Structure 1
Amino acid sequence: MIKEREEIAEIYKWNLEKLYSDEDKWISDTEYVDKLIEEVETYRGKVGKSVENLLGVVEAELEINRKLENIYTYSKMKLDENTSSDRYQGMVDRGQVLSVKASEACSYIVPELMALEEEKLEELIGDKKLEQYRHYLRDILRGKSHTLSEAEEMILASVGEISGSSYQLYSMMNDADLRFPEIEDENGNMVEITHGNYIPFMESGDRRVRKDAFQSLYKTYSGFKNTFATSLGSEVKKNRFYSKTRKYGSSLEHALHGDNIPVAVYENLIEAVEKNVDKMHSYISLRKKAMKLDEIHMYDLYTPMVKDIEMKIEYEEAKRMVLEGLEALGEEYLEVVKEGLDSRWIDVYESRGKRSGAYSWGTYDSEPYILLNYHDTLDNVFTLAHEMGHSVHSYYSRENQPYVYGGYSIFLAEIASTVNEVLLINHLIANTENREKKKYFLNHYLEQFRGTVYRQTMFAEFEKIIHERVEAGGALTAESLSAIYSGLNRKYYGEEIVLDPGIEVEWARIPHFYYNFYVYQYATGFSAAVYFAERIISGDVEARDLYIEFLKSGSSDYPTEILRKAGLDMTSSEPIEKALEKFGELVAEYEALIDVEEEKEA
């Protein structure tokens, strides 16, 4: 039975008082932001007149953003405690309205900067008074050559709502209108397939259930493939329109501009994974062998190769496991983890009305809070380690950087969380004598590689191909999209797997293809995490210390430069190849275990 929030002990609930000790202070901050908005208006038309004006407007805008983050985050986290609360929904709405008001008030700042002559800009930014904000301002000004006239910018802004129509069409079809048939589950019950239960069906130990779910889902998508092709084609054309209008060489270049990521990072990822695709083919063969299949199908990829092992892990035991798993990171790191575990950063248990899932969140002025809905499973232990990785990253960034650089980009975000997961799984594999448990842990790790490196890179290559086709004047149809996608599945998974009818339209159910070249970051982040973790596990103290410095860097430089300082060059293929070398070792280790079993059986 789900508990009421009042029934859960205080030690298992986050303490939001560091953010606001009472709601009167929250109200006071909303009033303060209104005054700051009035102040920022006084600089309109004067931003480039003097160093003092530029400094004043930058600090006013940053202070507005800092307070707004506190206002919104507090109200949203309180709402997440009980999603039915009208009080906190009202506070969230108030925060959103205030954010829009602030955004409108500050909208003149960047255009006024962009309008200045290059020589005048350099003179202002070079002043010692603006030293702390130099990287921040230079980053804004990187977009100068891609900024249009005021009239043209207004036209682009006015079509902003229209530009989201392709995703809206996709979302309405996929999430609202699409209905999947019922199938018979493992227990003989007729159950309707949904987006939520499809993957659990694919993880089923009953092959008939997996096959029925697969065929039913993709038969439904196939019936609407032309509509989905139209929406995805429109999305690609939209990206092409914006990249051409803003004078970028390609849609990919435009998408990577925000974090100043070289196109070579994207291309090297695809190239490195392609060079190591034989290791995925070996994994497919291993799956077929481990599962004792005559032939392996697409619907056999998600189910565990080893029978599910029941592991009931209570939260206090999970804390101990995480601390043990992260020992290689050293005492300084562990002290921060212990503080998080013992100082009510974490909202641990499910309660009535609480938001589902898990996240790490907070602001520059708060603790790096974690929301969990902890159940006594191994997956939840990994969730704790993962979210703690995000939170320690946030803690270090905020402790060591001023507010302006206290956050970090998406390109870097998943590295810290995944390092923790990799360290934990390596610890479990190395310290498990039970053969079935070792196979279970190896299966978990192998699937992370398959799902995060190979699969996301396949998605990234698909995005690149379809955008290049449109940029070359070609068209995207259901048939062409399916042919491209089918070819990629054959390349990534090899000749041994059966490409079941329907898999060619899987592109129609992937929402990330509307996120403008987003998914490659999952693969680069995981690869970087494995690269760091392997060096840390080896006992390389210098590598560990450089990793900690990376966590402290926030956004004080561009993501690839921050990683370079930590000893990792993401513009080369080395980190990807090193990670996939580890994948190959894991495949061999699992195969050795089942070879021993087969010898015993013989």
Structure 2
Amino acid sequence: MSENRTHLDVKHTWDLTTIFPTDEAWEAEFEALQTDVESAVAYQGHLLDSAASLLAITEAQLGLARRIEKLYVYASMKNDEDTTVAKYQEFQAKALSVYAAFSGTFAFYEPEFMTITDEQYQEFLSEEAGLALYKHYFERLFQQKEHVLSQAEEELLAGASEIFSSASETFSILDNADILFPTVPDGEGGVVELTHGTYIKLLENKDRDVRREAYEGLYSVYEQFQHTYAKTLQTNVKVHNYKAKVRKYASARQAALAANFIPESVYETLVETVNKHLPLLHRYIKLRQDILDLPDLKMYDLLTPLSETDLSMTYEEALTKGQEVLSIFGEDYARRVKEAFENRWIDVHENKGKRSGAYSGGSYDTNAFMLLNWQDNLNNFYTLLHETGHSMHSMYTRENQPYVYGDYSIFLAEIASTTNENILTEALLQEVTDEKVRFAILNNYLDGFRSTIFRQTQFAEFEDAIHKADQAGEVLTSDYLNKLYADINEKYYGLSAEDNPQIQYEWARIPHFYYNYYVYQYATGFAAANFLADKIVYGTQEDKDKYLDYLKAGNSDYPLNVIKKAGVDMEEVDYLEAAFAVFEKRLIELEELVAKGAHK
């Protein structure tokens, strides 16, 4: 059973007092923000009065946004520590409410800005030197011109932001706080409470009965609540489609990708290329079945390590090895990693009520915090370096860009994290000669590739399908979602839906389906990371410098341009084909090691 948070070693918890020293300080800032947002109503109608007013109101808007982000980050991270604590649920709701008020107050900004003529815009730039900083910011707004509504319409949308997020919020509370899973055998003669955190570890167990009971136990709960989960997901999809429609986008996908200035061809090329290479996945699945010596392979057999070699490590060991591996980027990067690892930026262990999974968070004015639910295995080591990649990206961006460009697009985010993962794999394969250990590392890499490029593209295909279905008038009942998910899953893994009936409910437990066309970026990011890791490990100092420039760029340029300067053209298929070439190369080595008996 998960421990209460009070029992954790404080050095393994993040220090949120660096954001607000006390809850009372947070509440004081909340009150101040409410007042300041309300006062900002006076700006309406005056944005283009003069060059000076455009600068002043732009800076006022960004200044308030900056403070609200900090307010929200504290509330959401305190809530994530224990999602059952009502106080921080209230804090998070208050932060969302002040953001909704802010959005309503500044709903005038884009409609007013869009009335500026080219001549007036150029005059303003020449009159007010301070506007030069915001040229790229303004340019991005101009590109969205046909999708900006009237001021009244923008106010209505802004006012409904809390309503629009309610399906996602409901899913989060249901999945993290209210759902109770059964106890299942732990493989050591006892039982363990099934949680989001323990589930993966149980599916990695060598005992097939343990895996099966954990799998069936988990999905029995999702089967029980499938209709509720279908409703929250359907509502969320409807929100995406509605907002896309009112903003005159052809689809929710187009709207979501346009936010990052990504052409839909990038999405389509990913799905097409992955589908083309599904025979490689089927080949790996068949090899897995042979190694496990099973008459049939089930979905609950996909996570158990194929190797008998114990690659478990403690959190402290992972910190030491992680710093060693990431030193390849140079002294400056290494210094930042050390700071994150030693100064309580990381919330390490699972506790009762804690949000599941892992992430890197924070805002422009905070540390780049990380949340983990640590287990002593190689996968969690990869997760640590993955989230560290995000945090270093955030740290470099915030230190090198003004607030207006001090974040980066989601599209670029997953590249920094998965480059670290790929560098870890390269480092381990370079230093290990023992065939049994190489087998374990290759197994881990291929499983990581499967879960990132294949699995996330599978998710992307499902996500796109349900948005299109809703747009076409299909009702997203649990029956519809179950069948669609089971069919796509069967296509990807070659394992029949009939033999794996529980997998039809997996869609219900995936929080990323609430993130609005997010998951495809895990796959594109991992593929690009393969490309970049190769350059960093085997290339020149210039390749490393270009990579660090990408980390520093933030939103100062369009995402595709930022990553192209680092050496990856993501509008072409080459980076994807290169990733599959690495996968096949490592699959071949694994097959050869199996032939030698290295897995025994």
Q: Does 1:399 align with 2:414?
A: no
Corresponding position of 1:410: 410
CA RMSD of aligned residues (A): 4.2
Map 1:185-224 onto structure 2 (within 5 A): 185-187=186-188, 189=190, 195-218=196-219, 221=222
Map 1:509-548 onto structure 2 (within 5 A): 509-548=509-548
Corresponding position of 2:345: 346
**Residue 438 of structure 1: how far off its partner (Å):** 2.4
Q: TM-score, normalised on structure 2?
A: 0.84
**Residue 133 of structure 1: how far off its partner (Å):** 0.5
Pair 1:498–1:433, CA change in 2 (3 A): farther
Pair 1:456–1:351, CA change in 2 (3 A): closer
**Residue 253 of structure 1: how far off its partner (Å):** 0.4
Corresponding position of 1:292: 293
Pair 1:292–1:76, CA change in 2 (3 A): closer
Map 1:10-409 onto structure 2 (within 5 A): 37=37, 40-71=40-71, 73=73, 99=99, 102-116=102-116, 120-121=120-121, 124=124, 128-157=129-158, 163=164, 167=168, 184-187=185-188, 189=190, 195-218=196-219, 221=222, 229=230, 232-307=233-308, 309=310, 311-313=312-314, 315=316, 317-341=317-341, 344=343, 346-347=345-346, 359-370=359-370, 377-409=377-409
Between the two proteins, what is the percent identity of the paired residues?
40
**Residue 305 of structure 1: how far off its partner (Å):** 1.1
For residues 346-373 of structure 1, give each alpha carbon's deviation from its aligned partner in whole angstroms, at most 9, with x where no partner exists.
3576699996775544443444344567
Tell whether the 8 Å contact from 2:110 to 2:148 is kept in structure 1 after alignment.
Answer: no
Could you tell me how far apart the structure 2 residues matched to 1:87 and 1:160 are? 22
1:287 maps to a residue whose letter is R
Tell whether the 8 Å contact from 1:349 to 1:375 is kept in structure 2 after alignment.
Answer: no
Tell whether the 8 Å contact from 1:313 to 1:378 is kept in structure 2 after alignment.
Answer: no
1:137 maps to a residue whose letter is F
Corresponding position of 1:555: 555
Tell whether the 8 Å contact from 2:68 to 2:95 is kept in structure 1 after alignment.
Answer: yes
Could you tell me how far apart the structure 1 residues matched to 2:215 and 2:8 are? 42
1:253 maps to a residue whose letter is Q
Pair 1:326–1:185, CA change in 2 (3 A): closer
Could you tell me how far apart the structure 2 residues matched to 1:314 and 1:22 are? 29
Query: More deviation in 171-180 or 534-543?
Result: 171-180
Tell whether the 8 Å contact from 1:490 to 1:499 is kept in structure 2 after alignment.
Answer: no
Tell whether the 8 Å contact from 2:409 to 2:555 is kept in structure 1 after alignment.
Answer: yes
**Residue 170 of structure 1: how far off its partner (Å):** 5.8
**Residue 551 of structure 1: how far off its partner (Å):** 0.5
2:131 maps to a residue whose letter is L
Look up the SS of the partner of 2:553 in the other structure.
coil
Could you tell me how far apart the structure 1 residues matched to 2:240 and 2:222 are? 24
Could you tell me how far apart the structure 2 residues matched to 1:4 and 1:418 are? 33
Pair 1:582–1:78, CA change in 2 (3 A): same
Pair 1:208–1:326, CA change in 2 (3 A): same
Look up the SS of the partner of 1:597 in the other structure.
coil
Query: More deviation in 227-236 or 381-390?
Result: 227-236
For residues 368-399 of structure 1, give each alpha carbon's deviation from its aligned partner in whole angstroms, at most 9, with x where no partner exists.
34456767654454344233222221221122
For residues 392-421 of structure 1, give each alpha carbon's deviation from its aligned partner in whole angstroms, at most 9, with x where no partner exists.
212211222112111112222222122112
Could you tell me how far apart the structure 1 residues matched to 2:232 and 2:19 are? 42
Tell whether the 8 Å contact from 2:297 to 2:495 is kept in structure 1 after alignment.
Answer: no
Query: More deviation in 15-24 or 527-536?
Result: 15-24
Look up the SS of the partner of 2:389 in the other structure.
helix
Could you tell me how far apart the structure 1 residues matched to 2:136 and 2:508 are? 40
Corresponding position of 1:449: 449
1:346 maps to a residue whose letter is W
Could you tell me how far apart the structure 1 residues matched to 2:67 and 2:229 are? 41
1:278 maps to a residue whose letter is P
The unaligned stretches of length 5 or more in structure 2 are none
Could you tell me how far apart the structure 2 residues matched to 1:150 and 1:446 are? 51
Could you tell me how far apart the structure 2 residues matched to 1:264 and 1:22 are? 48
Could you tell me how far apart the structure 2 residues matched to 1:13 and 1:177 are? 24
**Residue 487 of structure 1: how far off its partner (Å):** 3.0
Could you tell me how far apart the structure 1 residues matched to 2:143 and 2:324 are? 44
Could you tell me how far apart the structure 1 residues matched to 2:91 and 2:229 are? 38
Query: More deviation in 111-120 or 398-407?
Result: 111-120
The unaligned stretches of length 5 or more in structure 1 are none
Look up the SS of the partner of 2:567 in the other structure.
coil
**Residue 282 of structure 1: how far off its partner (Å):** 1.3
Could you tell me how far apart the structure 1 residues matched to 2:175 and 2:390 are? 31
Could you tell me how far apart the structure 1 residues matched to 2:89 and 2:473 are? 47
Pair 1:156–1:585, CA change in 2 (3 A): same
1:468 maps to a residue whose letter is K
Look up the SS of the partner of 1:557 in the other structure.
coil
Could you tell me how far apart the structure 1 residues matched to 2:477 and 2:219 are? 17
Query: More deviation in 206-215 or 374-383?
Result: 374-383
**Residue 262 of structure 1: how far off its partner (Å):** 1.0
